[in-house]
Chain A
Amino acid sequence: MIYLDNSATTQPFPEVLESFYKGSTDFFANPSSIHQLGSRSEKLLSEARKQAARYLNVNETEVVFTSGGTEGNNLAIKGAAFMHQTRGKHIITSQVEHPSVLEACRSLETLGYEVSYVKVNEEGRVNLEDIKEEIREDTILVSLMSVNNELGTIQPIEEVANLLSSYPKILFHVDHVQGLGKVPIDIGNRGIDLCTLSGHKIHGLKGTGALIAKQHVSLFPLFHGGGQEKAQRSGTENLPGTTAFVKALRLIEELHSKEAEQLQSLHDQLYSSLQQIEKVKLNSPINGAPHIVNFSVPGYKPEVIIHSLGEREIYISTKSACSSKQPEVSSVLQACHLDRERTTSALRVSLSYLTTREEITRFIAAFHEVLEELEETMGRSL
């Protein structure tokens, strides 16, 4: 099997599963229970929080453990919007955000908020000036992803953080789900107020993650209850999942420091191999994230290519898994002003630190085969 759909989800590391298992058996007590067994669980939770804070260069009080990216994005956006509605009701985001950001924003629009969706260039990148132009007296939040999940485009996070540091009343939220472990950003940066992380994109488990909420940020909680996570996210703590998430954080940090160049070189190999195929049009920028390559094969239905590759046990995807059940046009590619042929025929190959050079070579060979096979039945006539 060759798994090249790592932006959808990653295979959990065995060590992560071990942590989950041990966290579920030896530390099953509720961390909020006051007996000694609960105390041990709480100690593990607090150690996990410290570790996470250290890897992410933030204060441990700034780590809110969540159920993953969607929750983190919703808590950041709605939490900030509800909390500061008296200050203003204007939010700035971009046209190419993940659905959990876009839909959260749209839901706020039904409640009387105004949202500016900043456009992007043909590579999917926002322009700093465009954000600057949208800033108003009543702007309370800017939400931007660090790495686009479909294209791998890297957004100018540091520049936006610098820009917004002159606007102390505007919170800056970064959706760092795709960037974590691959395209580092300095979350400790003064200009970043909120940052979403997800466990299952870094070989952790689904249903785990964290929202970093800086000390000065107050959020209106989405879940009210027992007051866990400093009352910002009530609900019995998912200790095994959290333990596994922090373990995954540690492993991905180690991998990043050792294997970053290797991953980049695999990316370049894949990129240039695809560039040499006449039928292929590359959508990802060459200087994008090292683990995502998006391309179109105009005239070919992406689903058919995916299934043909799947028969050879090679797994890639169309656009993002989260929106692949919707109509076939990729709204991200549309926002990049690509023509309809390209937006309806896009494929995404996403790598991980476990991907090998041989797998890339085998994928390219199989892809050639598939294109040849399909040429007879599909080709440009479709």
Chain B
Amino acid sequence: MNFDRILIRYGEMALKGKNRNHFEQVLQRNLTLKLRPFPNTKIRKTRDRMYVLLNGEEPNDVMKSCQEVFGIHSLSFAIKVEKKEEDLKEAALLAFTDASSAKTFKVSAKRTDKDFPIHSKELNPLLGGHILRNTEHVTVDVHNPDVEIKVEVRSDAAYVTAQDYPGAGGLPVGTTGKSLLLLSGGIDSPVSGYLTLKRGVELSAVHFHSPPYTSERAKQKVIDLAGVLSKYGNQVNVHVVPFTAIQQKIHREMPEGYSMTIMRRIMMRISELIARKEGILSLTTGESLGQVASQTMESMNAINEVTNYPIIRPLVSMDKLEIIDISRKINTYDISIRPYEDCCTVFVPKAPKTKPTREKAAYYESSTDFTKDVQTALQQTSVIQVKADTSSKEIEDEFNDLL
């Protein structure tokens, strides 16, 4: 006997009133995409929950995948059995063994099929007793059990549900619009992207590439990070902007103290133009207040002047350690710490202004015309489509016969 389905409970989206149907449809679509590696699974929607029917796919692998889908509050393995005492007993025991570290449990039985001869009140001790007889060092705790095994006897069959697994929470990706993430390759921006995805936002990304100051490996880093993010959403398009010429010009012609501020302002302008072209309505950054010179209140004010697009900054109030915690949890940390120069570290002035002003930045910029450079950079921007399974499922052609 093994679990034949995963029960999915919604999170916040259960509160969405009239729009709820739309949220459910998006969740179902995202789940379908996510479960493509498990072709036998089927998704069934009922009134207030969803089921993934396993049809023989490995339960734990499917569970792991489902846990990466936003919009799900919690999940449980479940099994449909015939309404026979023996089957119910076996299923209840299976549900208990799923919670491998549980020492206490309770059985909560419901009987909606009143023709079933055993009453709910008799079912609890009957199934609980069976678990106790077949385990060691386990006790019943009806008030605060490690695991609650739910049993529902309905007219068609009986359903037994095991312990709750946490879902990723948030809202289904694609229900709250799209944002363009400024992805540098550092620790912060991918975490920021993850948290934005969690709010149901679909992502595209922009990366500023400055060869030979930054290497192909730095670019690969960004592609790998986008690959991790795409696991939580769908495909992420990475716009790679050639930025060398602009950085050199800033370095040559702008006062050193303001070069970083002006570089950021130009990045913002380019990002907004890409967003505009793609019909994206906001930008997302990994800025966190007070971390580095570009993230002081004054800097943010001066940099923000060049765009009136909303900028989503999920990390603005977080400590570095909190950010690192999340990056480890979502597996971007190890990629982010690969030691390659990125565009934000190569041209760092010795003493960047921590309190730049809009006026001065605009004044320095007015002496040089960047319009053409921005246009050229945009024209030469390439787009790399990153999907969750490209990295793991398909071997790169180059290595195809090697591995």
A residues near B, CB below 8 A? 18-19, 22-23, 34, 36, 39, 42-44, 47-48, 50-51, 53-54, 57, 59, 61, 162, 165-166, 188, 190, 243, 246-247, 250
Contact = CB atoms under 8 A, between A and B. Distances in A.
5 contacts: A34-B215, A36-B215, A48-B403, A59-B331, A250-B403
B38 to A, nearest CB: 14
B281 interface: no
Given A19-B402, A59-B331, A247-B403, A51 B216 contact: no
Contacts of B334: 61
A47 B101 contact: no
Contact of A50 (B100, B331, B391, B402): B391
A165 B101 CA distance: 7
B396 interface: yes
Contacts of B391: 50
Contacts of B216: 36, 39
A44 B402 contact: yes
A23 B393 CA distance: 21
A113 B403 CA distance: 41
A43 B220 CA distance: 9
A47 B403 contact: yes
A48 B395 CA distance: 9
Interface in B176-230: 215-217, 220
Contacts of A53: 392
A198 B231 CA distance: 31
B101 A166 contact: yes
Contacts of B401: 18-19, 22
A23 B402 contact: yes
Nearest to A36: B216
Contacts of B402: 19, 22-23, 44, 243, 247
Interface string B370-400: 0000000000000000000001110110010
B138 to A, nearest CB: 11
B391 to A, nearest CB: 6
Contacts of A44: 399, 402
B403 A39 contact: no
Nearest to B341: A34
Interface residues of B, number: 19
A54 B403 contact: no
Given A19-B403, A39-B217, A243-B402, 12 more contacts: A19-B402, A22-B401, A22-B402, A23-B402, A36-B215, A36-B216, A44-B399, A47-B396, A48-B399, A57-B61, A162-B100, A190-B100
A319 B209 CA distance: 59
Interface string B315-345: 0000000000000000100100000000000
Contacts of A250: 403
Interface of B: 60-61, 100-101, 215-217, 220, 331, 334, 391-393, 395-396, 399, 401-403
Nearest to A242: B403
Given A48-B403, A243-B402, A243-B403, A42 B217 contact: yes
A165 B392 contact: no
Contacts of A243: 402-403
Contacts of B399: 44, 47-48
Nearest to A162: B100
B221 to A, nearest CB: 11
Contacts of B403: 19, 47-48, 51, 243, 246-247, 250
A41 B192 CA distance: 31
Given A44-B402, A250-B403, A54 B392 contact: yes
Interface of A is mostly: helix
Contacts of B220: 43
Most buried by A among B334, B391, B399: B399
A98 B61 CA distance: 32
A22 B400 CA distance: 12
Contacts of B217: 34, 39, 42
A190 B99 CA distance: 12
Contacts of A22: 401-402
Contacts of B395: 47, 51
Nearest to A166: B101
Nearest to A20: B402
A44 B403 CA distance: 9
Most buried by A among B61, B334, B401, B402: B402
B70 to A, nearest CB: 21
Contact of A165 (B61, B100, B215): B100
A39 B219 CA distance: 12
A131 to B, nearest CB: 15
Contacts of A59: 331
A50 B331 CA distance: 14
A54 B391 CA distance: 11
Nearest to B340: A34
Contacts of B331: 59, 61
Nearest to B60: A188
A34 to B, nearest CB: 7
Contacts of A247: 402-403
A241 B100 CA distance: 39
A51 B395 CA distance: 8
Nearest to A249: B403
Contacts of A19: 401-403
B132 to A, nearest CB: 17
Contacts of A57: 61
Nearest to B400: A47
A54 B390 CA distance: 13
A19 B393 CA distance: 20
A44 B220 CA distance: 13
B116 to A, nearest CB: 33
A48 B101 CA distance: 35
Nearest to B224: A46
Nearest to B335: A61
A50 B376 CA distance: 37
Contacts of B61: 57
Contacts of A50: 391-392
B392 to A, nearest CB: 6
A166 B392 CA distance: 32
A98 to B, nearest CB: 28
Contacts of B393: 54
Contact of B215 (A39, A47, A166, A188): A39
A36 B211 CA distance: 12
Nearest to A61: B334
A154 to B, nearest CB: 21
A303 B400 CA distance: 45
B324 to A, nearest CB: 15
Contacts of A48: 399, 403
